[in-house]
Amino acid sequence: MEFYLGVNMDKDKKVAIVTGANSGVGFEVTKGLLKKDFHVVMACRNLEKANNAKEQILIDLPESNLEVMTIDLSDFESVKTFAREYKSKFQRLDILVNNAGILINKPKKNNPGIEMQFATNHLGHFLLTSLLIELMPDSKTSRVVSLGSLAHKKSEIFFDDINCDLQTKWDTPYAQSKLACLMFADELQRKLKSAGKKIISVSAHPGGTDSGLFEHMPPILMSILRYTFVPIFLHSTENAAKPILKAALDREANGGEYFGPTGLFEMKGSPGIAKRTKYSQREDVAGRLWNISEELIGSTFKLGAL
């Protein structure tokens, strides 16, 4: 599958960041961007795993410009440190793929006391984007890509219970976090458009894939899913990366669009426009989510300086 990024008016090499790039979908997205001659920064929590992934990629793509930088998206100070270090190395950012995500089946919170999946999957990326978007050239080829999930259809934003302490289903916190990612992408696009910017915010989901999320599940449940559910409904991580690459690279993509597989149950198939719930399109909810996200990260997301 080929995409055309368009003419880059700046002679400097295009730069992309992929969070959670050491495995799964992020690993394949990294390779896809390298094949399009991007300098890619693998933003990962585990340095050892990231460096091993880098070595593996360079075996197949030895001429690539690829480097590893450390980030823990659940730790907001780590996100700020990453942003400072990135700015010390690079003067531009063309594509930010907010890919990293965790799925856990037991309650867990980060140091400030925020539910871990909401902190990692949504808030860490919200903060990271706010710190780096000023480096993006004002062009439609500049993209912020947020990773949604089919799970978004199972939740709403629990503003009075943002940590999901009162929710009874084990997967509700994850579903809420991925819904938040999708709604953040939409609200960011509205704010970019209102500010008169050409940068676009898009979102995508990989469909069904064994992308590493199962690692946090109990071994028995993980085995059951991998050997029964996976072969029937899920596709390879290489195919799962295609909607994300389409969102990042397709010159026909428009701000606010949501991409995913178009096959049975949206689990796999050719990439195209994905389905979403009416709730996920509510601008009032997205605006409220933006405000509470700023409160939780302790800083304002400013677009005026772009």
Write out the catalytic residue numbers: 174
SS3 220: helix
What is the phi/psi pair of residue 209, to 5°? -155, 150
Rg of the Cα trace of the chain? Answer: 18
CA neighbor of 73 nearest in space, from 44, 52, 51, 47 = 44
Q: Check residue 143 and give left, alpha or beta (phi > 0: left; psi -120 to 50: alpha).
A: beta
Which tokens go with 8? 């880059």
CA neighbor of 32 nearest in space, from 120, 121, 97 = 97
Which run of H or E residues covers position 191?
A: helix 172-194
Question: What is d(CA 270, CA 117) in angstroms, rounded to the nearest whole number?
Answer: 28
Question: In this structure, how many other beta carbons lie within 10 angstroms of the beta carbon of residue 267?
Answer: 19
